[in-house]
Structure 1
């Protein structure tokens, strides 16, 4: 009766052969094309370095002022702007400014990439049910795969450094951007689309002048979720050389430095709250503007 308790599975030798074949094939691919792929990502490396230099080498009062101005124009809320100011001052006071700015530059570049890649895919999904059926299972896998797993292929292809970490962050963070772009466009009122067709608008005009503006609050929610997921991935990406707040947290875990881990963890929470409040408030403003124009 032993067979009744054991799940039927592939023969052990066949399973080892299959795993070895896949591993050897991937290693051969990385040896053959790793350098070429690294060259393709060199502009990304330059963009990331430029963002890093700007955030770390610009005097802190200027960076603080830029963030507060962005927060004000996005939210029109003195309370949120004051909260941003207090958070940034505390981060600087506890000597975490440079690591925080490195993390912010990584999140900024990851968010820009996620928007640049995710927005067109979301638009394609909204315009084609077939594309949606193909992409949705891929997004399901991306969202349920443990974050550590993303580090394995990028490290094998590109080694250790900022760019592999950035790619892992983007892969982990991009699904909400794609899903909510698709959802936002699909939720646009059919009567509005019929009115646009009646006025003789082309497909591109209908997309850029009707669908995307009306879907913008939902797309902003996607950007918000992408930023939150990117921040969650930063600590994991520090394992492969991504500088920022993740590395002190990793060092605190390895050496059991309680206060180092807590302080840098709170800095990550502070940055997450700033991004979350600003993007949410901007999304609500867009929603109110859309409802007002609808009335």
Structure 2
């Protein structure tokens, strides 16, 4: 039995019968990403560097802030500022949508054993499937460009926040839950005033992992014309320009470290408050 034939038939059927839906979805998501990119393009580079450096200082400390300003100045000096902002816009947009979908799903799986049983193998499949495979249906449904790259990134990066949101809520001590109920807390009050605040450090770890996976997928998505720093790396590979490829890779690493340290700083500060 050729499983691939059935998958191909299913995808062809979807593209033929739901093309207006995919076109509308592409228009909405593409417009959101373009607005995000226009905002980042419109801000002078020194203002962006200053704002990100201040954020790094307050959330991750002075050494991270020093690395941030030096790293971003190096990116600007290499001439990759435009591509970096393009990558940052795509990462933050994809991460935002992944969190918008993943956190409610994580809450649902934590509160429903049946949903957890259904979602677990699906999440396993999403995490273990090679990243390149996600590019195939994304291109078939949305064509080439940033939109299919964003959708492939969302699917690839969503499982960590779903799992860690569910884990964080499940790890809230039963004694605290029972005490809240005994004081008359409604299910919504129990969720928003007890479970989510206590699970927030674990959820923020999931946010950190989602951002890192989004960044790794955005680089791969350059193969379907998603642009950004991934396109620089891809040019270095296809044109055998070793120096260009390494420069693009260095820019990706700098951006990844900055985002990682800032999100880790948020998690650590939240734990200290607890």
CA contact (8 A) 1:228 1:276 kept: yes
Deviations 1:87-124, CA, capped at 9 Å, x for gaps: 11111111111111110111110111111000000000
How far does residue 31 in structure 1 lie from its aligned partner after superposition?
Answer: 2.5
How far does residue 207 in structure 1 lie from its aligned partner after superposition?
Answer: 0.7
TM-score normalised by structure 2 residue count: 0.96
Match of 1:64 in 2: 49
CA distance in 2, matches of 1:179, 1:24: 31
Match of 1:37 in 2: 22
Residue 249 of structure 1, aligned match among 227, 230, 233: 233
Match of 2:132 in 1: 148
SS of structure 2 residue aligned to 1:239:
helix
CA distance in 1, matches of 2:243, 2:87: 19
Match of 2:184 in 1: 200
Residue 155 of structure 2, aligned match among 152, 165, 171: 171
CA distance in 2, matches of 1:116, 1:73: 26
Match of 1:293 in 2: none
Residue 134 of structure 1, aligned match among 111, 118, 121: 118
TM-score normalised by structure 1 residue count: 0.89
SS of structure 2 residue aligned to 1:169:
helix
Match of 1:282 in 2: 266
**How do 1:179-190 and structure 2 match up within 5 A?**
179-190=163-174
Ranges in structure 1 where 5+ consecutive residues have no aligned partner: 1-9, 291-295
Match of 1:267 in 2: 251
Deviations 1:223-276, CA, capped at 9 Å, x for gaps: 111111111111210111111000011111101100000011011011110011
CA contact (8 A) 1:34 1:158 kept: no
CA distance in 1, matches of 2:162, 2:30: 24
Residues 132 and 258 of structure 1: is their aligned pair in 2 closer, same or farther, counting only changes over 3 Å? same
Ranges in structure 2 where 5+ consecutive residues have no aligned partner: none
Moved over 4 A (4+): 18-22
RMSD: 1.4
CA contact (8 A) 2:41 2:82 kept: yes
Alignment length (residue pairs): 274
Structure of higher CA gyration radius: 1
